[in-house]
A = this chain, B = another copy of it.
Amino acid sequence: MFEHVEGEPVLVLSEDRCWALLEGVAHGRLVTVVGGRADIFPINCAVADRRIVLRTAPGSKLAEMAVNESVLFEADGILSDQAWSVVVRGTAARLETSADREAAEALQIKPWVPTVKDYFVRITPQEISGRHFRFGEHPERELGEGSEGG
């Protein structure tokens, strides 16, 4: 499924591949920045039509996205012999119209906890990037060697 160039442990993923991976995720991490200070939140989400939708209760996530709509979303998948990570840079907006909210409800985002989360937020992507890692041993170096970097 992930065709690395022979011997290359890192594969840069195409945009299509990134979205295909995100369509399978139910949680990720949201990064907000206010006044130069970042915050990171674990979130439950769904991905549809190349938008990320999250459901949230009132709180710091919503407040910070209202101040600065530029956010990051990260999701990853880690197995014993491989891993992938996809990062989306985008713009967050609260869904206000009933049509938007109904479409978001239909995604059936499964929250981790049964508190009422009344707000839907949609992240519209500006950039997406992803990498797939095939695990291997770290090439040990002799002490004192080490000019060519890696």
Contact = CB atoms under 8 A, between A and B. Distances in A.
Contact of A115 (B9, B74, B76): B9
Contacts of A135: 112-113
A9 B44 CA distance: 15
Contacts of A115: 9-10, 139, 150
* Chain B CB within 10 Å, residue with most, of A33, A38, A146: A38
Interface residues of A, number: 42
A24 interface: no
Contacts of A9: 112-115
Interface string A69-87: 0101010101000010101
A83 B146 CA distance: 41
5 contacts: A31-B38, A42-B74, A113-B136, A114-B138, A118-B149
